[in-house]
Amino acid sequence: MLKKFFSYLKSLFSKKQTPYHLPWHQLVFQDPNQVLVDFQNKHHYFSSHPLIGRVSANKSDVEIVKDLLLIMHEKISSPIERIFASNEILAKVLAYRDLKTGDKISVPFVSKNGRPILCNLLVDKTFNLWNGMPAFGLICKDPHVSPILLYRGTDLTLDTKRGWSSILSDLDFAGPGKNTYLHARSDIRKWLEKVKKQYSKSRVMGFSLGGVLTSYTLLYEHDLIQKDEASPSMAFSPPGVSKKVFLEWLSLPEKDKAPFMVFITKGDLVSKIGKLYGDVYQATPIPDLSAIMAHASLISALPYISLKNIAENKK
């Protein structure tokens, strides 16, 4: 059944429809790729070697993620699966590694005609958002792949200054991450302007705290964000924004709003904070997950997932 469904999605691609217009609300993951299942089993949040949503400075952990992405390129050919899984790994796993400017990571993507491609992403910029909290500017020379601004989510390492700064950012009275974003805004905008001139407008992505930083970027730097619906920005399990910021988004002209897909998981308490905007989809795993696992698990690796569209203002 799943293979037939993905064949249907592939046929939509051949008609030049885009991932953004695909019926995400009908998407059901009944049989996740074993590569992703094995990775989640070995590296989930509470494992002996956690890599999903957990920071590590070990260089060997970067190699583990690189190897995963290469295997995904070989094993996952369906456009919709590649789009979803690759972006989720970037936001929930790669962003938690200590990447350095000049690092190269091969990532499976999809060309505009639906063909699987492997793109060598270059870490063009490492940002210091606030007290060492990082974000990463990624570029690829392939015209099918837009530059990516990748935010790291909440860092719970209590023995580092950047970890405490990340936690304080979550507790910001102005809204999660708001002042951290404003502190780094000029640096962020400068990079977005640079890559727009050299390559194209960027797309943005992040998980948890990184997801809400993505939300602010799409609002305040909307003129520099990719409007191509085949290259949407994405946020995974983000907290919502304040009512004031939400109203700013609603007042933004539709032509200025970049394609923005937000994925949350049933049982995750983080995404119940504040208001979410964009095209919000809720994943419902069977069986139910604990609050932390609902927040930090890979949606693409769970045994049974359905996605349901949620109205913007429902939160």
Domains recognised in the chain with CATH numbers: 2-314 (3.40.50)
Note the pLDDT of residue 262: 94
**Cis, bond preceding 232 (omega within 30 deg of 0):** no
Binning pLDDT at 50, 70 and 90, where does residue 303 land? confident
Residue 85's nearest CA partner among 68, 98, 106 is: 68
Whether the per-residue pLDDT at 297 is higher than 70: the answer is yes
- Mean pLDDT, the chain, integer: 89
Contact 251, 39 (CB under 8 A): no
Note the pLDDT of residue 207: 98
Residue 114's nearest CA partner among 189, 186, 7 is: 7
Query: Of all residues in the chain, what percent carry a pLDDT higher than 90?
Result: 74
Residues sharing a CB contact under 8 Å with residue 171, sequence separation 6 or more, in sequence order = none
Q: Is the dihedral of CA 57, 207, 271, 273 positive or negative?
A: positive
Note the pLDDT of residue 216: 98
3-12, 199-208, 229-238, range with the lowest pLDDT: 3-12
Note the pLDDT of residue 272: 94
Note the pLDDT of residue 143: 83
Residues sharing a CB contact under 8 Å with residue 216, sequence separation 6 or more, in sequence order = 177, 178, 181, 241, 245
Environment class of residue 24 by beta-carbon count within 10 Å: exposed (0-12), middle (13-18) or buried (19+)?
Answer: middle
Whether the per-residue pLDDT at 255 is higher than 60: the answer is yes
DSSP at 8 = H
Note the pLDDT of residue 9: 41
pLDDT in tens, 3-59: 443 454 444 444 444 443 555 555 565 678 899 999 999 999 999 999 999 999 899
pLDDT in tens, 52-95: 999 998 999 999 999 999 999 999 888 888 889 999 999 999 99
pTM, whole model, 2 decimals?
A: 0.90
Contact 234, 181 (CB under 8 A): no
Per DSSP (E only), the strands in 114-259 are 116-130, 133-139, 148-151, 203-207, 233-236
